[in-house]
Amino acid sequence: MRRTTGLRSALAVLLTLGAAALGLTSPAAAADAGASSSSARALSPGLVTALQRDLGLSASQARARLHQEAAAAELAPRAERAAGQDFGGTWYDPARGALVVGLTNTGGPAADSVRDAGASVTRVAHSARALDAAKAALDNVAKTDGAPMAVRSWRVDPRTNSVVADVRKGSEHSAAVREFLAPAREAGLLSVRRAGAGQTPRTFAAGAVGGDPYYINGNTRCSIGFSVVGGFVSAGHCGAAGSSVVGWDGSAMGTFAGSSFPGNDYSYIPIGNGWWTTPVVLGWGTVSDVLVRGSAVAPVGSSICRSGSTSHWHCGTVLAQNETVNYSQGPVYEMTGTSVCAEPGDSGGSFISGDQAQGVTSGGWGDCTSGGQTWFQPVNEILNAYGLTLVTA
């Protein structure tokens, strides 16, 4: 059965009595409906404090940033449509407190449309379509021939208007690395970033050590991502289809109905046996438990927080989207990179921006003592892959 704190019990009562107010958002509707009123809602208690701690903001700066990011997430799809073929990417700029749209032509009607929509505009040399194509070329090489382990990850970075490859320091001029990165280099779009020896990505599964986890086949611990109708989603590397799952108290939850890793890193676990779903991300006492109200995608540059059963609640910023991460087991595609730390056992846990679900923890490097980086698999991709419906408040 599901453990509850006093706050979670109160939430359960409110959700039960107010069932008519609890929405179940489809993957297609979640991205559009979730953020539209988020800037007008009260912020979850403790969220401002968490951003103060992890991003070094004042309380007023944290509140302003959360409202600005909600507005940016709502605006981003409309700005991209307005930009048309001139679109070069979007990101949230905390210095401006606004969404920025890169355009290959800042003097045409598309630029006027983007400005009229409320976004800032900056000129870039390359379109998002060209950058995505160069990144996809590297993905295709990795799928057919593999990728050198010295290449940690690769992604499109809208802020530098380039395809950025993170390469182990000292290996950037090796023949294997140069050959792998050749498609992006020949297109004139490559930027290489040297990564330290301790920055090799790994998954964050762990042996059973307690906390508020779920356990797979009795010997691996991971963290719940988000409730969906009938169960929850998590990371694929946590367990294979058919693997049995028990909760923190040892009682049976269900079995993995679907799991994909590498290539993807997501899974779906239907639950029963007295376990129930709720639109809540645990705050672990650092913040109050956060209600999930949708899954609008937070732009690059936005603040984001993660909840997991080992290191609990930590925040940072979105560094990249559609990044390919080269684990020892093989590449995983379409990941989102963040500056949030994580530790073994946090795998599968929730990434959330404001009250919008973002994804499930995949892996990273470092820890929450010395710092590090983490990637997640976007939740909307998981919902679409399995035809699931996110449980929202």
Three-class secondary structure assignment of 242-279: CCEEECCCCCEEEECCEEECCECCEEEEEECCCCCCCC
Residue 237 appears among annotated catalytic residues: yes
Rg (CA), the chain: 20
Same structural domain for residues 237 and 317?
yes
Under 8 Å between Cβ of 327 and 262: yes
Residue 44's nearest CA partner among 66, 75, 64, 21 is 66
Q: Which of 162, 347, 353, 362 is catalytic?
A: 347
- Looking at 176, 195, 214, which one is the last position of a domain? 195
Residues 258 and 350 in one domain: yes
Residues 293 and 178 in one domain: no
Q: Mark whether 190 and 278 lie in a shared domain.
A: no
> What is the enclosing helix (H) or strand (E) of 319?
strand 312-327
Instruction: Write down the pLDDT at residue 203.
Output: 74
List the domain range (segments joined by +) for residue 265: 202-391
Partners of 102 in the beta sheet?
122
Per the domain annotation, does 212 fall within a domain? yes
Domain boundary among 195, 215, 245: 195
CA atoms within 13 A on the CB side of 359: 26
Burial (Cβ within 10 Å: 0-12, 13-18, ≥19) of residue 250: exposed
Q: For residue 206, what is the domain's CATH number?
A: 2.40.10.10
pLDDT digits (tens, 9 = 90+) for 225-257: 999 999 999 999 999 999 999 988 888 999 999
262 upstream amide cis, omega within 30 of 0: yes
What is the helix (H) or strand (E) element at residue 13, kind and residue range?
A: helix 6-17
Residue 191 sits in a domain of what CATH number?
A: 3.30.300.50
Question: Would residue 238 count as lying in a domain?
Answer: yes
Give the active site residue among 126, 237, 312, 314: 237
Q: Which residues pair with residue 98 across a beta bridge?
A: 93
Mark whether 218 and 315 lie in a shared domain.
Answer: yes
The answer to whether residues 247 and 135 belong to one domain is no
Q: How far apart are CA 42 and CA 274, in angstroms?
A: 32
| 362 and 217 belong to one structural domain | yes
Same domain, yes or no: 289 and 308 = yes
| pLDDT at 13 (0 to 100) | 33
Q: What is the pLDDT of residue 46?
A: 82
Please, which residues have CB within 8 angstroms of residue 56's CB and are 6 or more apart in sequence? none
Q: Say if 78 falls within a structural domain.
A: no
- Is 67 considered catalytic here? no
Q: Structurally, how many domains does the chain consist of?
A: 2
Q: Do 223 and 141 lie in a common domain? A: no
Residues 219 and 327 in one domain: yes
Confirm whether 347 is a catalytic residue. Answer: yes
Q: In the chain, which residues have pLDDT < 70?
A: 1-41, 204-212
Describe the chain by its helix, strand, coil percentages, rounded to 5. 30, 35, 35
Dihedral in degrees, nearest 10, Cα atoms 272, 239, 300, 116? -40
Residues near 76 by beta carbon (within 8 Å), at least 6 away in sequence: 90, 99, 297, 299
Give pLDDT, residue 235: 97
Q: What pLDDT, on a 0 to 100 scale, did the predictor assign at position 22? A: 27
Residue 324 lies in a domain: yes
- Note whether residue 38 is domain-resident: no
- pTM equals 0.82
Domain membership flag for residue 370: yes
DSSP per residue over 55-110, as a string? Answer: H---HHHHHHHHHHHHHHHHHHHHHHHHHGGGEEEEEEETTTTEEEEEES-SSSHH
**What confidence score (pLDDT) does residue 218 get?**
78
| Pair 334, 186 in one domain | no
Has residue 165 been placed in a domain?
yes
In a domain, 101, yes or no: no
End position of a domain, from candidates 161, 195, 229:
195
Q: Catalytic residue among 157, 265, 289, 355, which? A: 265
Q: Do 241 and 384 lie in a common domain?
A: yes
